[in-house]
Amino acid sequence: MIIGLGSDIAEISRIANTLDRYGDRFVQRCFTPLERKKSEGRANRAASYAKRFAAKEACAKALGTGLSHGVYWRDMGVVNLPSGKPTLQLKGGAR
């Protein structure tokens, strides 16, 4: 059953600039510890963070709340199934 649909894109250069400008403050605010570990281990960390950022924005749209009404960035985490397929793990206000 589909309860909501959302889509989003994130420009890698914009995320790279945000990482350069705000660094750890941005990463700590928006990403779960697992997401940070996975993205920091990638050759192109900005691209990894951009994919996760876009997925979270799309999820917030699908929830119908955006990032308000008690839904925070870290309430949504991009995780991989054993097959490698990405999916979202929701907690807190995103549930």
Residues 6+ apart with CB under 8 A from 69: 93
How far from 73 is each of 27, 83, 95, CA to CA, in Å?
10, 25, 13
* pLDDT tens-place string over residues 1-30: 667 788 899 999 999 999 999 999 999 999
Q: Give the pTM.
A: 0.89
* pLDDT tens-place string over residues 39-60: 999 999 999 999 999 999 999 9
Nearest to 44 by CA among 85, 76, 12: 12
Name 86's bridge partners.
Answer: 80
Residue 4, pLDDT score: 77
**Domain definitions of the chain by residue range:** 12-94
Residue 2, pLDDT score: 67
Which amino acid, residue 35?
A: E
CATH class of 12-94: alpha beta
